[in-house]
Amino acid sequence: MHLDPFELHRPTTVEEAHRLYAERPAGADYLAGGTDLLPNYKMHLNLRPTLISLDRIPELARRDGARVGAMVRLGDLERDADFVGRYPGVARALREIATPLVRASATLGGNLLLETRCFFFNQSEFWRASLGYCLKADGDRCHVVPQKERCYATFSGDLAPALAVLDAEVELAGPGGRRTIPLLDLYDRAGDGIRRTHLRPGEILTSVLLPPAARERSATYSKLRVRPSFDFPELGVAVAARIVDGRATELRIALGGIETCPRRFDELTTPLEGAPLDGPRRRELAAAVQAAVRPVHNTFLPPDYRRRMVGVYVRRALTEVVGATAVP
Amino acid sequence: MSSPAPLKLTINGLPVATVAPAERVLLDLLRDDLGLVGTKRGCDLGTCGCCTVLLDGRPTLSCLTLARLVEGRTITTIEGLAPPGGLTPVQRAFVEHGATQCGFCTPGFLLTATALLRENPRPTRDEIVRAISGNLCRCTGYTKIIEAIEAASTGAP
């Protein structure tokens, strides 16, 4: 499986990367670890004539406590005792991503901006041509939900939900300036599913910021997949809460692997702020999250099973995080 | 093919000066350009670990590594693990425990295991299982591979 020819650039500053991007109207992709982009390029999925590697930009590889550069390799982050000690829920998600070999190259930013996945997309060109191309690559109709407007491919990153329950933010640098936004605001839930983020043309995700409150929360992450040693999530569940005097506050629940974007369920958790989260209430909350999701049939496991597992995994995660508290 | 550019790197302790187009992955550079065919092409998508090499001592998937991006770095392939005619303790343990059948995955396992024992000379069984979780073997079922790495770690025969 060979890569088609492309131009390759290795800028040393974010500004140089922007300039290279702007000078290539035929299109360019930024290249981080390559563990997602290069397999997709080998399968001829949405090729661009230029790759701009971000591996030589020192700013993107910095790590200082609560700020982690987007080009930090996942394998380095999981070996960082300080980071793992501060954010054990994120560390759990980290160790569940792919394999140690993939994590040696894969990056934090790459995982947050992972291409969405689908039966009908992650296939060789021959396979896709035989069936007829799909909306997400080379075609004009979706094979999962037959229509021509929206792509239903699944967001399969593990870190986004784990970071979202800690209220993480992302720093973005674009040709027009820099901005910091909540992590989940990066994802375009209302879009057509092909454009998955609110990144502006040429904009680069430079780092992830964890607020001080993140260290005060108990957090967990669990993942449903077919092969526990390798696969992308069929469902990823992150739960975090601040436990003070036996009461849970700042409760957050986030899911990945189930819809086009990672999603947090503040509309269900905010009304419970400070309420005792006993067994019946945890079951009720897990059932409400389950009722709110609509997986489609585009990954290995059937959507109804995945939806029911949402209830099971959320209930277990809630029990792990808040179940031990001495609720009155 | 895009135009090849000069590329210098260190492979198995020797300086190498070659050329590579932008789209050349390290696996193809090793096998097709330099004749180092001990590194195997399995899935070519990062799933199987057959193409594992050590990049500055760390196990890395050569099928997903662009050759130009490892300019100036140090690569160890299976050919460079032991001196000619000799075996490293991990290789010897694989032989003695029958930890290889068809042999296709073996170079990748040996490089992963070598790096594991350098970083963690006395890994637990669970640490071994986690470390090799990105290397697939379709013959042995892993038991003998795990036993071989355990034996190499303790120096037991």
Question: What is the assigned CATH class of domain A216-322?
Answer: alpha beta
List of chain B residues whose C-beta atoms are within 8 Å of the C-beta of residue A48: none
List of chain A residues whose C-beta atoms are within 8 Å of the C-beta of residue B54: none
Taking CB atoms and an 8 Å limit, are B22 and A8 in contact across chains?
A: yes
Task: Find all residues with CB under 8 Å of A97, minimum gap 6, and list them.
Answer: A74, A103, A106, A111, A158, A159
Of A134, A114, A238, A128, give the one whose Cα is nearest residue A192: A134
How much is the pLDDT for A325?
Answer: 63
Give the tens place of pLDDT for each residue, A235-252: 999 999 998 876 889 999
* Domain range B5-80, CATH architecture: Roll (3.10)
Taking CB atoms and an 8 Å limit, are A42 and B45 in contact across chains?
A: yes
ipTM of the complex: 0.96
Q: How many CB pairs under 8 A join A and B?
A: 82
Taking CB atoms and an 8 Å limit, are B133 and A100 in contact across chains?
A: yes
Taking CB atoms and an 8 Å limit, are A102 and B46 in contact across chains?
A: yes
Q: Least CA distance to B112: which residue of chain A?
A: A101
Strands A247-256 vs B14-20: parallel, antiparallel or unpaired: unpaired
- The helix (run of H) or strand (run of E) holding residue B115 is helix B106-119
Specify whether the CB–CB gap between A206 and A172 falls below 8 A: yes
Q: Is pLDDT at A327 greater than 70 in this prediction?
A: no
Token duo for residue A308: 């029911």
Tell me which CATH code domain B89-154 carries. 1.10.150.120
Residues of chain B with CATH 1.10.150.120: 89-154
How much is the pLDDT for A324?
Answer: 64
Instruction: Using a CB–CB cutoff of 8 Å, tell me whether A47 touches chain B.
Output: no
Instruction: Using a CB–CB cutoff of 8 Å, tell me whether B17 touches chain A.
Output: no
Taking CB atoms and an 8 Å limit, are B135 and A101 in contact across chains?
A: yes
- The Cβ of residue B27 has, within 10 Å, a number of other Cβ atoms equal to 24
Domain boundaries, chain A: 56-212, 216-322
List of chain B residues whose C-beta atoms are within 8 Å of the C-beta of residue A7: 2, 22
- Residue B142, judged by CB atoms within 10 A of its CB (0-12, 13-18, 19+), counts as middle
Q: Least CA distance to B57: which residue of chain A?
A: A104
Determine whether domain A56-212 maps to CATH 3.40.50.460: no
Instruction: Using a CB–CB cutoff of 8 Å, tell me whether B25 touches chain A.
Output: yes
pLDDT band at A6 (very low <50, low <70, confident <90, very high): very high
How much is the pLDDT for A39?
Answer: 97
Taking CB atoms and an 8 Å limit, are A100 and B64 in contact across chains?
A: no
Instruction: Using a CB–CB cutoff of 8 Å, tell me whether B130 touches chain A.
Output: yes
Give the tens place of pLDDT for each residue, A65-117: 899 999 999 999 999 999 999 999 999 999 999 999 999 999 999 999 999 99
Beta bridge partners of B7: B18
Taking CB atoms and an 8 Å limit, are A35 and B61 in contact across chains?
A: yes
Give the mean model confidence (pLDDT) for residues A162-189. Answer: 97
CA distances from A170 to A157, A185, A197, A204, A207 (A): 15, 9, 12, 10, 6
Specify whether the CB–CB gap between A145 and A303 falls below 8 A: no
Longest dimension (CA), chain A: 65
Taking CB atoms and an 8 Å limit, are A99 and B49 in contact across chains?
A: yes
How much is the pLDDT for A328?
Answer: 46
Residues of chain B with CATH 3.10.20.30: 5-80
Q: Least CA distance to B116: which residue of chain A?
A: A100
Give the tens place of pLDDT for each residue, B7-23: 999 999 999 999 999 99
Taking CB atoms and an 8 Å limit, are B66 and A55 in contact across chains?
A: no
Task: Compute the nearest-CA separation of B1 from chain A (Å).
Answer: 5
- Which of A:13-42 have CB within 8 Å of B? 31, 34-35, 38-39, 42
Specify whether the CB–CB gap between A208 and A170 falls below 8 A: yes
Closest CB from A6, A42, A105 relative to B65 = A105
Give the mean model confidence (pLDDT) for residues A38-58. Answer: 97
Task: Compute the nearest-CA separation of B98 from chain A (Å).
Answer: 24
Give the mean model confidence (pLDDT) for residues A292-303. Answer: 95
Q: Least CA distance to B21: which residue of chain A?
A: A5
Task: Compute the nearest-CA separation of A42 from chain B (Å).
Answer: 8
Of A186, A179, A180, A137, give the one whose Cα is nearest residue A159: A186
